[in-house]
Amino acid sequence: MSGAGDARFMALALALGRRGQGQCWPNPAVGCVIVKDGRIVGRGWTAPGGRPHAEPQALARAGAAARGATVYVSLEPCAHHGETPPCADALIGAGVARVVAPVPDSDPRVSGKGFERLRAAGIEVTTGVCAEQAMADLGGFLRRESGGRPHLTLKLATSFDGRIATATGHSQWITGPAARHMVHGLRARHDAVMVGAGTARADDPMLTVRGHGAVRQPVRVVVSRRLDLPLMSQLARSAQEVPLWLCHGPDPDDVLAEAWDGVGASRIACDLVGQQLDIASVLENLGDCGLTRIFCEGGGGLAASLLQAGLVDELVGFTAGLAIGAEGLPGIGALGLERLEAAHRFRLAETRAVGGDVMHRWLRD
């Protein structure tokens, strides 16, 4: 297979893997394509909940045609016994001739061992194909497995002049129905939706996915140092149906902590920096809990903290064709920048019209 052919089929495997984003944590969202004589004979992606993995699904579809075929998988096949047998062993047993994968798995139970097992069985292994895109798709999983943090997307919906609400706090609806539908789709592609305490108090949000069929609902994460959130909110009333995690300081009020435990919320104690929650500690703790992709929807103070700490991997903005004026509320809190050069610049990846609004997506270099 030519290099161009490898890139083409790997791009398809990556696209299939993205179908599982938000639906299979703590496992990675992996895609797999099996090709024989230039024809796709099997394909699969990580199932909701994390199992079955992509490779056994693709092998089942390929059947006997997998023997002597080339397998394109968007992450190194696993080599350890968990709840299912190793995918590397399944590929060996199927008699495939070649495996192409962009990057090794950072899980120490796998890291390089899957490739070693395949090579020991006489299977040709090619790595590095579409590695940059694989790192973008799986960065949160790979970072988390090596002691880092989840991938973080920061979303802002603003007026043309960069405001998220009027001076009185009224914010429904700055963007139109098409943009709001897209936001629900973005929620579905992340493991968790995160907001600050101010947004939870002001908007009383549900933070669930609606209008996209039957999906695994994301974890709702609220960052609240004191746990001073309304116990009659939609979040509290639904905590036993849809997971609600509260990130708070190391010494929460005992009465509030007991009340949130009583409604079914999970609490995560995080470190402080001065009088504020250490946002890096928040993300590290969420990664330790298995999250790989987090979608942050504000508010301004939380957004500013994430940007100041250099923890934002992706910006998604929705701009509406209306102006609110200087008295309106800004989307991001003060960053304390004295010089423009200190601001981190993101790289524009996509821009398009969504209904009557404009969506623009930016990636961290």
Could you state, in order of their start, the residue ranges of all structural domains in the chain?
Answer: 3-142, 149-364
Higher confidence at residue 68 or residue 168?
Answer: 68
Contacts of residue 32, defined as CB under 8 A and 6 or more positions apart, other chains included, come to 13, 16, 42, 43, 44, 45, 54, 55, 57, 58, 71, 72, 73, 74
Q: Would the pLDDT of 71 be above 90?
A: yes
300 marked as binding residue: yes
Tens digit of each residue's pLDDT (9 = 90 or more) over 181-208: 999 999 999 999 999 999 999 899 999 9
pLDDT in tens, 253-289: 999 999 999 999 999 999 999 989 999 999 999 999 9
Residue 335: count other Cβ atoms within 10 Å of its Cβ. 13
* Residue 236 marked as a ligand binder: no
The predicted pLDDT at position 239 comes to 98
List the beta bridge partners of residue 220: 193, 244
342 is in an annotated binding site: no
Checking if the pLDDT of 169 tops 70, the result is no
- 55 given a catalytic annotation: yes
Please state the CATH superfamily assignment of the domain spanning residues 149-364 in this structure. Dihydrofolate Reductase, subunit A (3.40.430.10)
Query: Angle CA(97)–CA(136)–CA(78) in degrees, nearest 5?
Result: 40
Identify the active-site residue in 55, 76, 145, 284.
Answer: 55
* Residue 141 reports pLDDT greater than 80: yes
| Phi-psi region at 204: left, alpha or beta (left = phi > 0; alpha = psi -120 to 50) | left
3-state SS class at 212: coil
3-142 and 149-364, same CATH topology: no
Q: Are 69 and 35 in contact (CB under 8 A)?
A: yes
* Sheet architecture: strand order including 39-45: 39-45, 31-36, 70-73, 98-101, 124-127
DSSP structure class, residue 227:
-
pTM: predicted TM-score of the whole model, two decimal places: 0.93
pLDDT of 4 strictly over 80: no
Name the residue type at position 336. Answer: G
Name the pLDDT band for 85 (thresholds 50, 70, 90): confident
Structural fold of domain 3-142? Cytidine Deaminase; domain 2 (3.40.140)
